[in-house]
Amino acid sequence: MKIAVVGGGALGSLFAGALARVAEVELIRRGDAPVRADAAAYVLVTVKTYDTVAALAPFRGVLSPGAAIVSLQNGLIQVRQIEEALGGGRTILLAPTTEGATREADGSVRRAGTGSTTVGTPVGNRGTDRADVFAELLRAAGLAAAVAEPIEPHLWAKLVVNAAINPVTALARRPNAHVVDHPPATQRARALALEAAAVAAAAGIELPYPDPSARMLEVARVTGANRSSMLQDVERGRPTEIDAINGEVVRLGRRLGVVTPENERVVDEVRRAAGA
């Protein structure tokens, strides 16, 4: 079986390395020839949300009609972006993950804490059997994985955690353990998580855990050595996903009548820190 991994970041490299134990894997970075993915059974999308359409557009008309597109991305708009890039009618799998990876100064990738990946099909899509097969591939590769239908509560579950940990660590320039060990950071992260959870509830989403702030702190503790993707972006002077994560909380909150003042503030702060 051939698997194409689109994106050369730390997370993409982590999954490519693991899956190479059980499948033929092509890691495709920006600018690589898309024809290398023509026979792929699964195409993993690991680029940042703001790069999705540009990264996938060259694959339109190249991929096999039976290829399943698997998004390991943050946020809630992956399906819309994938269909904009590749057209409709494709099998899409969403795979929110708590796996953490950090690229070291020498270019190597370090797995920063053991996480898990939940695989499922978005509402209105097809391919539940493909979700089962892909989850089994992840498990054979040594990665914890489960299948969940519907998948949307798990997308929100990750969004709530990311909305708390990522901006707080990015602004502090500290790894995830900072959220647990530094009381002011803990307090702010709790406020961000609870606002995001309130928006999820207003959207009719039941999160797969009873206490959003407790879950967020658990993830921060388990991935304590990880430097969040948002932190890595700020440190390297790259665009961040603040708009796709906290910005989405704010936008949906306004639409649903939920106030999100802490998320609004942190969006502005991270934009300034990133020079946006």
Place of tokens 């699964």: 42
Phi, psi of 6 (to 5 degrees): -95, 115
Element (H, E) at 268: helix 261-273
The residues with which 28 forms a beta bridge, in sequence order, are 6
Helix residue ranges per DSSP H, 112-182? 128-140, 152-172, 177-181
Whether residue 158 lies in the annotated active site: yes
Give the CB-side neighbour count of residue 214, counting CA atoms within 13 A.
5
The residues with which 26 forms a beta bridge, in sequence order, are 4
Cα–Cα distance, 76 to 248 (Å, whole number): 8
Catalytic residue among 158, 178, 190, 227: 158
Structural Rg of the chain based on CA atoms? 18
Active site residues: 158
